[in-house]
A and B are shown apart, each in its own frame.
Chain A
Amino acid sequence: MLDKNGIAKRIAKEVKDGYYVNLGIGIPTLVANFVRNDIDVEFQSENGVLGMGPFPLEGEEDADIINAGKQTITTLPGASFFDSATSFGMIRGQHVDLTILGAMEVAENGDIANWKIPGKMVKGMGGAMDLVASAENIIVAMMHTNRAGHSKLLKRCTLPLTGVGCVTKIVTNLAVLEVTSEGFLLKERAPGVSIEDIKKATEGTMIITGDVPEMVI
Chain B
Amino acid sequence: MIRKTVDNVQEALKGVENGMTFMLGGFGLCGIPEKAIAELVRLNIENITCISNNAGVDDFGLGLLLQKKQIKKMISSYVGENDEFERQMLSGELEVELTPQGTLAEKCRAAQSGFPAFFTPAGYGTEVALGKETREFNGKMYVLEEAFKADFAFVKAWKGDEAGNLIFKGTARNFNPCMCGAAAITVAEVEELMPAGALDPNQIHIPGIFVQRIFEGRNYEKRIEQRTVRKTV
Contact = CB atoms under 8 A, between A and B. Distances in A.
Contacts of B147: none
Interface residues of B, number: 59
Interface in A73-124: 73, 81-85, 87-88, 91-92, 111, 119, 122-124
A158 interface: no
Contacts of A123: 78-80, 86
B225 interface: yes
> Among the interface residues A58, A62, A85, A87, which one has the most CB atoms of the partner chain B within 10 A?
A85
Contacts, number: 183
B39 to A, nearest CB: 21
A181 B10 CA distance: 60
A160 interface: yes
Given A72-B224, A73-B228, A125-B78, A88 B170 contact: no
Chain A interface, >50% SS class = loop
B79 A66 contact: no
B172 interface: yes
A70 B120 CA distance: 26
Interface in A118-168: 119, 122-130, 133-134, 160-165
A82 B233 CA distance: 27
A122 B89 CA distance: 9
B78 A82 contact: no
B116 interface: no
Interface stretch (A3-11, A46-54, A182-190): A46-54
Contacts of B135: none
B214 interface: no
A63 B30 contact: yes
B126 interface: yes
Interface of A: 45-49, 54-58, 60-73, 81-85, 87-88, 91-92, 111, 119, 122-130, 133-134, 160-165
Interface of B: 27-31, 53, 76-81, 86, 89-90, 96, 98, 100-106, 108-109, 120-128, 158, 168-178, 205, 222-231, 233
